[in-house]
């Protein structure tokens, strides 16, 4: 399967929403082609030198502003994790990659692990209301993968996010997030550290688009 690629210094997760400012000509072309063809493209992490092996497919969710010079402010929504096998520069100047969609290995969710992550997440949100993160229940996460919801909001650095994206079970991701939440929990009382550790990392919630 071949799709257009948008290498960025960010990790997009399935089910997450992220705002983008499109200003390079090649990526204006990519977005226009995807809108015209109602197709997905791939967002994949890069540090500027190396492109990651795994990324996430995306669609344009909403266009906020079209500028006279062709720049665009928009939001995208993540869909499926993929593995990148090869890529090349297309006639439209953006990268095109041969990808394989990667599905999770199916296994029952560890309810105890799930509950512990929810409890830790709510502990943090209760301590730092300034970040406007609401406490959640398990029911709030019905129909979506909880790990990707948590991963947007608990201050993971780029490598941690990429490591999480590359994991192939929900339980593995939840265990990784539980360890991270337990690690930052002792710092919750230190407001200055919390500002550095826990932030929304730029991801949007559906309510932000209303």
| Helical (H) or strand (E) element with 87 | strand 72-89
Q: What is the mean pLDDT of residues 174-185?
A: 93
Please report which residue ranges of the chain form alpha helices under DSSP H: 25-37, 111-127, 146-151, 158-165, 170-184, 191-197
Higher pLDDT, 26 or 126: 26
Q: Is the pLDDT of residue 187 over 80?
A: no
Q: What is the pTM of this model?
A: 0.86
- 2-8 and 17-22: which strand pairing? unpaired
Nearest to 94 by CA among 46, 140, 41, 134: 41
Q: In a 3-state reduction of DSSP, which class is residue 179?
A: helix
CA distances from 187 to 43, 59, 156, 184 (A): 33, 37, 15, 5
Q: What is the mean pLDDT of residues 20-36?
A: 96
| Backbone torsions φ then ψ of 117, nearest 5 degrees | -65, -40
Q: Is the pLDDT of residue 131 over 60?
A: no
Nearest to 125 by CA among 133, 114, 116: 133
**Model pLDDT, residue 179:** 96
**Residue 187 burial by Cβ neighbours in a 10 Å radius (0-12, 13-18, 19+):** middle
Q: What is the pLDDT of residues 73-107, one digit of tens each?
A: 999 999 999 999 999 999 999 999 999 999 999 99
Task: Give yes or no for a contact between 167 and 81, defined as CB atoms under 8 angstroms apart.
Answer: no
Which domains are seen in the chain, by residue range? 2-101 (2.30.130.40), 111-209 (no CATH)
Q: Is the pLDDT of residue 192 over 50?
A: no
């Amino acid at each position: 399967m071949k799709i257009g690629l948008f290498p960025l210094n960010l990790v997009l997760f399935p089910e997450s929403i992220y705002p983008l400012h499109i200003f390079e000509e090649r990526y204006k072309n990519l977005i226009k082609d995807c809108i015209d063809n109602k197709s997905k493209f791939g967002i994949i992490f890069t540090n500027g030198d190396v492109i990651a092996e795994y990324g996430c497919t995306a669609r344009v969710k909403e266009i906020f502003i079209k500028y006279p010079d062709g720049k665009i402010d928009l939001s995208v929504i993540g869909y499926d994790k993929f593995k990148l096998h090869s890529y090349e520069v297309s006639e439209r100047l953006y990268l095109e990659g041969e990808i394989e969609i990667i599905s999770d290995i199916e296994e029952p969710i560890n309810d105890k692990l799930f509950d512990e992550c929810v409890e830790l997440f709510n502990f943090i949100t209760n301590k730092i209301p300034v970040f406007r993160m609401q406490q959640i229940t398990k029911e709030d996460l019905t129909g979506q993968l909880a790990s990707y919801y948590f991963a947007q909001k608990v201050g993971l650095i780029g490598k941690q996010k990429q490591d999480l994206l590359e994991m192939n079970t929900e339980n593995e991701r939840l265990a990784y997030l539980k360890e991270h939440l337990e690690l930052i929990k002792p710092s919750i009382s230190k407001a200055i550290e919390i500002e550095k550790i826990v932030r929304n990392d730029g991801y949007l919630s559906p309510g932000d688009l209303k």
